[in-house]
Amino acid sequence: MHRMKIGLVAAIVLLALTAAVYVVVTRELKDSVVQDLDTAVSRAQRIHGDVARLEAMEFENLVAQLSHRPSVVGVFDKSDENSRRQAAFEQCEQINGQLRTGGKPKADIVAMLDSSGKVLARDLNVNAMFGEDLRSKFPAVGTALSGKATKDIWTFQRNLASKDPNWLLVETDEAA
């Protein structure tokens, strides 16, 4: 009986020692994994921000190239408003088609504005948004039309329970 008690005590001591080593090792391992994960997430957030800025700069360069094409500049040489609007609409459609098939970043809306910030034409429909004053509606448009670079923060909202897939623009603000 005495030998059995010694074996039982030895088994309990061994179990306690194993549990203590397990707790110490897993705690250190957990802390190390959490720290590595926090570092990786922080790095990924920085990289995501850098990639987003690079994509925005690439898109800005693309827009600059497209807006300086002779066919786009020629839209504003048209003498009457109807031919200018039709030419603007055709250019918007052509640009949108190129963006869809060229592997470039796709714009959701392609529109041409006159120097006062009013819409001449946009893709999809020659009459969509015609004459709408985007300069007064969106301050960044006015800044961009004056030749200065600008950043916008657009806030959208949507009822996720609704079957309507459209988002509603509720606020625009210039970024700091």
Residue 152 phi, psi dihedral angles, 5° rounding: -120, 150
Q: Do the Cβ atoms of 172 and 153 come closer than 8 Å? A: yes
Does the structure show a pLDDT above 60 at 142? yes
Partner residues linked to 152 by β-bridges = 174
Termini Cα distance of the chain:
81
Query: Higher pLDDT residue, 10 or 124?
Result: 10
Domain ranges of the chain: 138-176
d(CA 114, CA 11): 87
- As a whole number, the mean pLDDT across the chain is 78
Give pLDDT, residue 7: 80
Looking at the whole model, is its pTM more than 0.85?
no
Query: Model confidence over 10-47: pLDDT tens digits?
Result: 888 899 999 988 888 888 888 888 999 999 999 999 99
Which residue, among 132, 153, 150, has the nearest Cα to 141 in the 3D structure? Answer: 150
Query: Model confidence over 61-92: pLDDT tens digits?
Result: 877 787 788 888 888 788 887 888 788 888 87
